[in-house]
Amino acid sequence: MGVEQGGSSPLGPGGAPSLKGPGKHLLKPYLGTWRIILPGTPGVLPSVCLTLPPHQEVSSDGAPGAYPSKNKRTHLPTVWELESGAGVGRSFRGERKGGPWTFEERPGVKVVSAGKHCVLCGIVNKSEVYKDVLSEFVPLYQDFENFYTRNLYMRIRDSWNRPICSVPGAKFDILERVSYDYNWTFKYTGRIVNDVINMGSYNYLGFAENSGVCADAAAEITLKYGVGVCSTRREIGNLDKHEELEKLAAKFLGVDAAMAFGMGFATNSMNIPALVGKGCLILSDELNHASLVLGARLSGATIRVFKHNNMQSLEKLLKDAIVHGQPRTHRPWKKILILVEGIYSMEGSIVHLPDIVSLKKKYKAYLYLDEAHSIGALGPTGRGVVEYFGLDPRDVDIMMGTFTKSFGAAGGYIGGTKELVDYLRTHSHSAVYATSMSPPVVEQIIASMKCIMGEDGTTLGQERVQQLAENTRYFRRKLQEMGFIIYGNDDSPVVPMMLYMPAKIGAFGREMLKRNIGVVVVGFPATPIIESRARFCVSAAHTKEMLDTALNVINEVGDLLQLKYSRHRLVPLLDRPFDETTYEENED
């Protein structure tokens, strides 16, 4: 880091000197016209960058704010230096002394001791000098907050956002990419990896296809109705197709009426505020999806969180709520709404619906069930978690779901009594302000729903539902036998397999892709930092051969990466006949 004079500044003549070192932008207002260079810290994800990338005179991309070239590692400060504010203290001392500082690579031990020294210098000096400046402005971006992103996420981000060039069905094609700078930039090799088995898409019933009945129907409707509606439901955007869809959805779910919305996320976030408000209580599960959390926070109601799928925790909260009422006034709550999901997408666990329904009836609360992943995927005829448990759909006050996962489309719905749905038609934010669903999407949902219900005259839908159930059971059973730790209920098609170590997240994703399987790996912040996992989504479109291939590959990679953490070993059902010496299914 140093103060360099004149000529080598790439931004043209003028000889304005530039400072190097992290945190230098903090000195900018102090130094007037001096430009500042910030080596090492990337220009960062938003394009706001008060600094230039280092050594721009040698890099080819001239735009300021681009990611710095990571080839020259000699000048990059170590992570320790950046985070300890080493630069700030150091430069400030440099300022005081007036001499130039050079920023060369330094041996490790010196860095550590220098860093500690600078932390203390930086702490003392930073506050005195920048107090006036910093108290007026909120920093746009903080070096420390993107510590995780820069150091962990960037290194393994080739496992996410992979560009594909086919429909994400049971198999798909991926564009191959390489990175020569540790995933800061990607280059396409031009090769397409064909027929990668897709274990990551939410394609439970296999409707993600671009040929077949649903696709043809959607294409026909595009020709007839056009691509978009360009208006809201309450103005002139209500088509007969929407009404047909809503009647069909109500029939599918077994409720009085239903309303459909353009986005699954928006269904939750826009409708919960319409249903509850200030003075109401929301009891939401710990692991609820972001849309439910956002909807709950937007509504202004009091939110209390109960432990995941834990009925004792929920009952305790209900009892306390009813006994004590609202926090200070002790008035009774206007409404108590329990927010749960059918299948939780990160855990694969199925909600204990019978217990919740009995609790709700006992304490007279309302139940909002978000069946994003479970509609179409659970139950003997695919009607969701309510059918899976054999309950009455009228027990669930608000049945919400999405069309994204099992129906191969987009959007969400809410089903319930006619009064509820009529109220939502007038009071929901989506109905008033959001564009209505586009006709081809609506037709896709109608076609796929009819297929599942059997109304198109074939048994294809029923076969798909059964195929999914078989695939799920088989896949889960085999993975458990192999010795992996799998979360979730045995019937849920969402299969999270624990990886635990951050390094294994990247390793697993890459090894699976090398062997032609595409998987989704999840880490912090979506999961707790030590519970990273790989999440498989079983589909009805997977044949047994595909599942066997995938399982063999997972077995191989699991041995390679030592992922077989489970200490319970399931006795394989077919290999060992039941004789007088095996009474337990689990043999430790």
**Which residues are at the interface with other proteins (CB under 8 A)?**
83, 116, 119, 123-124, 126-128, 130-131, 134-135, 138, 142, 144-149, 284, 286-290, 293-294, 297-298, 305, 344-346, 522, 524-530
Is the distance from CB of 553 to CB of 517 less than 8 angstroms? yes
Nearer to other proteins, 136 or 579 (CB): 136
DSSP 492-542: -SEEEEE--SHHHHHHHHHHHHHTTEE-EEE-TTTS-TT--EEEEE--TT-
Task: Quote the least distance from Cβ 287 to other proteins, whole Å.
Answer: 5
**20, 32 in Cβ contact below 8 A?**
no
Q: At closest approach, how far in Å is the CB of 443 from other proteins? A: 30
**Least distance in angstroms from the C-beta of 405 to other proteins:** 15
Smallest distance, other proteins to C-beta of residue 71, A: 26
Beta carbon of residue 474, minimum distance to other proteins (angstroms, whole number): 26
Comparing CB distances to other proteins, the nearer of 138 and 223 is 138
- Cβ-based nearer residue to other proteins, 193 or 519: 519
Q: Residue 419 to residues 244, 256, 270, 489: CA-CA distances in angstroms?
A: 19, 9, 18, 35
Whichever of 224 and 278 has its CB closer to other proteins, that residue is 278
Which amino acid, residue 111? V
For 417, the 3-state DSSP assignment is: coil
Q: Least Å distance between CB 147 and other proteins? A: 4
Nearer to other proteins, 159 or 527 (CB): 527
**Closer CB to other proteins, residue 144 or residue 578?**
144
For other proteins, the closer CB: 200 or 440: 200
Q: Among residues 140 and 573, whose Cβ is nearest to other proteins? A: 140
What is the distance between the terminal CA atoms of the chain, rounded to a whole angstrom? 59
Query: Of 201, 204, 206, nearest to 520 (Cα)?
Result: 201
* 502: CB partners within 8 A, 6+ apart: 152, 156, 523, 524, 529, 532
CA distance linking residue 326 with residue 328, whole number of Å: 6
- Indicate the residue among 11 and 123 with the shorter CB distance to other proteins: 123
**Closer to other proteins at the Cβ: 142 or 358?**
142
CB of 173 to other proteins, least distance (A): 26
CA nearest 317: which of 296, 303, 298, 301?
Answer: 303
Q: Are 279 and 333 in contact (CB under 8 A)?
A: yes
Least separation in angstroms between CB 525 and other proteins: 5
If residue 18 lies in a helix (H) or strand (E), which one and from where to where? strand 18-19
Task: List the structure tokens of 200.
Answer: 């990551």
Cα separation, 579 vs 264, whole angstroms:
51
DSSP one-letter string for 21-79: STTGGGGHHHHTT-EEB--SS---SSS--SSB-TTTTT-S---TTSPPP-S--TTPPPH
Closest contact distance (angstroms) between CB of 328 and other proteins is 19
C-beta closer to other proteins: residue 120 or 230: 120
Separation of alpha carbons 11 and 444, rounded Å: 55
Nearer to other proteins, 373 or 504 (CB): 373
State the alpha helices, DSSP H only, in 51-209. 79-83, 86-97, 108-136, 147-148, 154-156
Tell the smallest beta-carbon distance from residue 277 to other proteins (Å).
14
Least CB distance to other proteins at residue 346 (A): 4
3-class state of residue 398 by DSSP:
strand
Residue 206 to residue 539: CA distance in whole angstroms: 6
- Dist. CA 315–CA 360, nearest whole Å: 9
Query: Which is closer to other proteins, CB of 170 or CB of 522?
Result: 522
Distance of alpha carbon 529 from alpha carbon 501, whole angstroms? 9
Q: How far is the CB of 320 from other proteins (least distance, A)?
A: 18
CB of 128 to other proteins, least distance (A): 7
For every residue of 330-373, DSSP letters joined together read: -PPPS-EEEEEESB-TTT-PBP-HHHHHHHHHHHT-EEEEE-TT
Q: What pairs with residue 171 in β-bridges?
A: 197
